């Protein structure tokens, strides 16, 4: 069984591709851009298409599949009732699947489960990375504000830190907000 992946996010596509290969599926193509989608889709044979839901390329894909004899339709509802949950988790994870009529639901379920798991894992990783970057940037600002206090007020590092903390508590602000205020004022006066 052949699967085509369409995802603008190369990292996520690579992760999902590997996971599908590990589960014994064939990958007929991995497509990242709208341009490639328009150029290549017609030549590619596949049974299932997995596509990132946050990409507007879904509309392009729907037109391309409508031109094929065996039109692949989006999977919105599976016949068995308890599978509604599966489709809902796919939407939540941000992945959508297209299959041609008569494709075995059991096999589709297995592929969807792999895709949902990888999308979730990758999205969680991105969130984590984002929050780490954010924290790092905050720490840098606090260090900078500490440096300003040390220079202008002659504080040692510990006093500068405690001063920042106290200011934040008094004003009901976060330390990062106080630090940014100090940096802004220092830049204004410089």
Minimum distance between the CB of residue 87 and another protein, rounded to whole angstroms? 7
Residues 87-146 that bind another protein (CB under 8 A): 87-88, 91, 96
- Give DSSP secondary structure letters for 165-189: HHHHHHHT--HHHHHHHHHHHHHHH
Minimum distance between the CB of residue 34 and another protein, rounded to whole angstroms? 6
Assess 9 for contact with another protein (CB under 8 A): no
Interstrand relation of 48-52 and 2-6 (parallel, antiparallel or unpaired): parallel
Complex with another protein: residue 91 or 137, whichever CB lies closer? 91
Strands across the sheet containing 2-6: 26-31, 2-6, 48-52, 95-100, 72-74
Site pattern 44..83 for another protein (x: CB under 8 A):
---------xxxxxxxxxxxxxx----x-xxxxx------
Read off the tokens for 160: 């500068």
* Interface contacts to another protein, rule CB under 8 A: 34-35, 38, 53-66, 71, 73-77, 87-88, 91, 96, 177, 180-181, 184
């Amino acid at each position: 069984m052949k699967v085509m992946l369409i995802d603008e996010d190369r990292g996520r596509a690579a992760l999902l591709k590997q996971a599908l290969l590990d589960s014994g599926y064939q990958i007929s193509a991995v497509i990242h851009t709208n341009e490639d989608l328009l150029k290549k889709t017609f030549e590619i044979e596949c049974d299932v298409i997995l596509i990132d839901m946050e990409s507007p390329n879904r509309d392009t894909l729907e037109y391309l599949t409508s031109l094929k004899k065996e039109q692949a339709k989006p999977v919105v509802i599976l016949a068995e009732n308890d599978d509604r949950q599966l489709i809902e988790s796919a939407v939540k994870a941000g992945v959508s699947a297209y299959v041609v009529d008569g494709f075995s639901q059991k096999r589709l379920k297995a592929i969807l489960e792999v895709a949902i798991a990888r999308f979730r894992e990758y999205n969680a990783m991105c969130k984590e990375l984002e929050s780490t970057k954010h924290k790092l940037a905050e720490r840098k600002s606090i260090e900078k504000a500490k440096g300003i206090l040390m220079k202008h007020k002659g504080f040692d590092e510990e006093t500068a830190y405690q001063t920042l903390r106290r200011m934040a508590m008094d004003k009901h602000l976060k330390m990062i907000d106080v630090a940014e205020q100090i940096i802004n004022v220092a830049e204004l006066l410089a």
